[in-house]
Structure 1
Amino acid sequence: MTAAELKLDLINRIANLEESRIIEEIKSFLDFEQDTTVFQLSDEQKERLLKAQNDEILTEDEANNEIEKWLQEK
């Protein structure tokens, strides 16, 4: 299927959707894909990226613990 055919198929399928929740999800995805805003990283995020580039990674347990800690702060 060509890109043009895929687009037409999606347009038709979206036009027939009745659930606004699904339409909103599609819109959110498209808005995200088209966003050209420069993403600003915190110093901590920059540090993590540098560590990842040097293969310094967290274990699954360490990552889960950090996620739990972060969720408790919210």
Structure 2
Amino acid sequence: MSTSELKLDLIQSISTIEDTDLLNDVKKLLSLSSYEKVYVLNQRQQQSVNESIEQYKSGQCISDEDAENEFQKWLIEK
């Protein structure tokens, strides 16, 4: 399906919607995708990110699987 065909299909689908809440949700979704917002970190947040990167680079991390296992073990102990 080409971009033009997809746009026409969406227009036709949206034009049949009577639910105001759904239309508002679609409008919000479309407005979110129409611009890119850059999140700017404050100094403390940037320092935390930098520390995390350094910990990762130096091997001070565990795999997702190991983290999940530790979490499950912790839950059983509680």
**TM class, shorter-chain normalised?**
0.5 to 0.7
Residue aligning to 1:18: 18
Q: 1:3-14, aligned counterparts within 5 Å?
A: 3-14=3-14
Q: 1:1-74, aligned counterparts within 5 Å?
A: 1-46=1-46, 47-48=48-49, 51=52, 54=56, 56=61, 59=67
Question: Percent of aligned positions with the same letter in both sequences?
Answer: 28
AA at the equivalent of 2:28:
S
Structure 1 CA distance for aligned equivalents of residues 39 and 27 of structure 2: 20
For structure 1, the residue ranges without an aligned partner over 5 or more in a row are 62-74
Alpha-carbon spacing, 1:12–1:49, altered in 2? closer, same or farther (3 Å) = farther
TM-score, normalization by structure 1:
0.57
Alpha-carbon spacing, 1:45–1:13, altered in 2? closer, same or farther (3 Å) = farther
Q: Greater CA deviation, 13-22 or 41-50? A: 41-50
TM-score, normalization by structure 2:
0.55
For structure 2, the residue ranges without an aligned partner over 5 or more in a row are 72-78
- What is the RMSD of the two structures over their aligned residues, measured on CA atoms? 3.1
